[in-house]
Amino acid sequence: MAKAINQKKLVRKPWKNRHRNLEYKVVAEFDAHNRDENGLLPGTQPARFRNGYKVLQGKLAEIEAANIEYEQEGDPVHTVRAIGAAWSLSEVLANAGYVFNTKPLNLIVTDLREGDFEAGKFSNKYILAQCGASVKEINKRVEEVDLGLFTTGASDGQTIAGAISTGTHGAALQFGSMPDYVLGIHLVTASNQHFWIEGNEKTMSQSFLDEFMPGVQRMNDDEVFHAALVSFGSFGIVHGYLLACDDVYKLKVIKKFLPWDLVKECVNGPANIESLGLPPDPYHFEIDVFPYKMETVYVQAMYKEYGQAENRVPMPVEAKLSSGLDAIRLVGALNNFIGMSKELMDCDLIENQVMGQFKEKNGGYMAPRLEFGGSEDDRIEPAMSCELSFNANNALAALFQVLAVAQAKPFMGIVALRYIKQSKATLSFARFPTTVAMELPAVGSKRTKRFYERLWKELDERNFDFAFHWGQMNNIRAENMERRWRPEQVQAWKAARAVLLPTGEQRKLFSNAFLVAAGLQEDGG
């Protein structure tokens, strides 16, 4: 990219994320789409896919040609961020430059042919999903062809690219996180450059690439692929994924309130789950705690059985949180209590308001897409949420530390513990052999922010080994980056980024203030 040729006064427009805890002013917003130059949607899937990334490249060409440096203070503004549902609560979304709305890029291809694959690699359980397809859209589409996603997050409103690139997970103890069923990534890095990235072994055929993404540069490299999985918009614009699916399955649901003294024996993992009166080997396992009333806590276990869930239990309208806990929606029930003191939080009124959102259930089935109760169509109240990961062996000690800080710095929220396998993604926060993901959703307030900040400080002072979910609130900075992840992981991620974005100007284009503060953008702002 050439040196900036002009300068003009900065005029920006306001932009907010979905949960309304972040607000920025951006230079411009742009809606990507799959239509042709005449505004028409082609009749074939490959043509739609081609149009999608060509539209992205066309806009990048305009930005590269203009190369305007603005009079500005603080954040760099000659930057690009692709944003779908704007679901994340963290600064990874931050961008003072150009915002690309990728939600209209929502093609889902479920009828890939044998010739689309390398010899011996064909599977009718693989799908191609464009970046803007929501988890809800994909869940519905794959169920129609008797398939199911191995796991999703605690809601279905995210776009698939946003969910995967921030390391979103559910509570699939036997599987892992969403990045772990990705087999290929289509990545746009410049107006004249795009990549098809897989692991060391090729999965898709050259004829497939020529049809869907002609001119693409193929890359088969485990290290680059694993780094690109969780890269939160800083490797370029993810345009599509090849996803592996499971056969369609249903989840048998058991949810109950149990005495804390009993449940705490399972906080370090469900090895002793039978002591709770639950069958062994759950597919989904979760513990939900209200810090100010610990006599009983809520336990959820789900058991996988193959086949359609014809008699699945519909989600009660009045108790959406009772399934899987999209706990951020809890704030809708809590906003009236923002000013409550710790003493008032102890009262039965608050406990009933919080834990009353959960309902016991013994049996009945849910389809995987109903594992969680949230929807992209639901109204989202202003909220905050932080999610930390620990080695499951240290989960009880970490929970006790969270509870101690909650006494000193009360917050209006809950603690949700979910258990997942280690991820293959280089900078996934599920970095422990068995990871406990500890989510702390709460009302959006200064009190909540003070609680988070105190907790992060206390955990570091007591030498807890933990990482942050990239899509939720955090204090990831250059000075602690290699404490949250191993130094070799951080270096491998940076090296992969330099392979895909070989010039400093390219890396700056897909940078933002968060990346700079985290020490992951080595070329400055």
Distance CA 200, CA 182 (A): 14
DSSP H or E stretch at residue 8: strand 6-9
**Residue 391: enclosing H or E segment and its boundaries?**
strand 383-391
pLDDT at 356: 54
Who wins on pLDDT, 339 or 439? 439
The radius of gyration of the chain's CA atoms, rounded to the nearest angstrom, is 23
Q: What is the pTM of this model?
A: 0.89
Cβ 312 vs Cβ 300: under 8 Å: no
One-letter identity of residue 341: S
State the pLDDT at residue 67. 62
Q: CA distances (Å), 452 to each of 158, 386, 387, 388, 412, in order?
A: 24, 7, 10, 11, 12
> What pLDDT shows up at residue 274?
95
Residue 360 DSSP symbol: -
pLDDT at 465: 97
pLDDT of residue 4: 43
Structure confidence by residue, pLDDT tens digits, 392-438: 999 999 999 999 999 998 888 889 999 999 999 999 999 999 999 99
Residue 3 has pLDDT above 50, yes or no: no
pLDDT, tens digit (0-9, with 9 covering 90-100), for 326-384: 444 554 445 444 444 454 444 454 455 555 556 677 766 766 654 444 444 444 455 78
Unique residue bearing structure tokens 């030498």: 463
Instruction: Work out the number of other CB atoms within 10 angstroms of the CB of residue 259.
Output: 12
Confidence at residue 63, expressed as pLDDT on a 0 to 100 scale: 86
Tell me if residue 305 falls in helix, strand or coil.
strand
Residues 275-296 have pLDDT tens digits of: 999 999 999 999 999 898 889 9
As a residue count, the chain comes to 525
Rounded Cα gap, residues 385 and 21, in angstroms: 10
Query: What percentage of the chain exceeds 90 in pLDDT?
Result: 60
Instruction: Return the axis-axis angle of helices 395-408 and 446-461, rounded to nearest 10°.
Output: 130
The structural domains of the chain, ordered by start, are: 6-101 (no CATH), 108-246+488-517 (3.30.465.10), 250-468 (3.40.462.10)
What sign does the dihedral 51-53-56-58 (CA atoms) show? Answer: negative
Q: Output the pLDDT for position 457.
A: 97
pLDDT range class, residue 496, cuts 50, 70, 90: very high
HSE toward the beta carbon, residue 408, CA cutoff 13 A: 13
Distance CA 304, CA 254 (A): 12
- Distance in angstroms (rounded) separating the CA atoms of residues 312 and 377: 21
**Cβ–Cβ < 8 Å for 141, 130:** no
Model confidence at 65, in pLDDT bands (50, 70, 90)?
confident
93: pLDDT strictly greater than 50: yes
CA angle 85, 228, 248 (to 5 degrees): 65
Q: What is the mean pLDDT of residues 441-455?
A: 88
